[in-house]
Amino acid sequence: MALAKKFIAEFIGTFWLVLGGCGSAVLAAHVAGSDGYPFGIGYAGVALAFGLTVLTGAYAFGSVSGAHFNPAVSFGLWAGGRFAGKDLIPYVIAQVLGGLLAGWVLYLIATGKSGFAIDPSAPGAFASNGYGSRSPGGFSLGAAFLTEAVLTGMFLVVIMGATHKTAVAGFAPIAIGLALTLIHLISIPVTNTSVNPARSTAVALFAGSGALDQLWLFWVAPIIGGVIGGVIYRALNSND
């Protein structure tokens, strides 16, 4: 029963993250009025939206599941000694399914607008992640891999530090949400920012073959980065 509750919390939390973060990118990032005046939220707004989804989701579900909402976070916390290996696969399944439901809901909303279409070859199509010709800034595979691995690693360091037993209670979601906002401000031009395999998978299935062909990187790099971040933090606090 306890694992079932955690599964549901991770499912809903990841649904919220994808709907809020990717939804802001698809529906609100680049909007213009009938007179052509732009009033979209832009990259900065999308970055803040992702941070807010994690912040609010962590307050809502942190006491139930720990509020991972991200396979790379689950792997990183496991490597850092903060998460049981027996729960790893159920968490990842819940996160991927929650993300996929959000991607489908977002697709239904977006296609409700006349003229909406997804160009599978376009950088960031349907909030998808990519490198090379599918990178918003034209960054290479190597640059994308390094960005995703390093930023996910630092994300784990922040998460583990903010949730450490000596940290000020109740403030962890704020630090974690701001960290994710910063990560997006850095890396949206590079990969459209993943650091979360469930988030990438959720929209890639609707973005077309280009996003699916490159999806492997947004599983491998974040998980490697998350594990390294978890190991580093564990080593720095080996006397705890």
Q: Which pLDDT tens digit goes with each residue over 216-229?
A: 999 999 999 999 99
**Is residue 192 one of the residues assigned to a domain?**
yes
User: Does the structure show a pLDDT above 90 at 132?
Assistant: yes
Residue 43: C-alpha distances to residues 142, 208, 233 (Å): 23, 22, 30
- Counting residues of the chain whose pLDDT is more than 90, the rounded percentage is 88
Beta strands in 44-88 (DSSP E): none
Q: What is the CA radius of gyration of the chain?
A: 17
**Is residue 47 one of the residues assigned to a domain?**
yes
**Is residue 115 one of the residues assigned to a domain?**
no
User: Does the structure show a pLDDT above 90 at 40?
Assistant: no
Amino acid at position 131, single letter: Y
- What pLDDT band is residue 37 in, cutting at 50, 70 and 90? low
What span, in angstroms and rounded, lies between the C-alpha atoms of 208 and 142?
A: 22
CATH code at 50?
1.20.1080.10
pLDDT of residue 31: 78
pTM equals: 0.96
Domain of 230? 3-110+120-237
**Is residue 161 one of the residues assigned to a domain?**
yes
Question: Considering its fold, how many domains does the chain have in total?
Answer: 1
How many CB atoms are located within 10 Å of the residue 52 CB?
Answer: 18
- What pLDDT band is residue 36 in, cutting at 50, 70 and 90? low
**Is residue 204 one of the residues assigned to a domain?**
yes
**Is residue 22 one of the residues assigned to a domain?**
yes
Tell me which H or E stretch contains 154.
helix 141-162
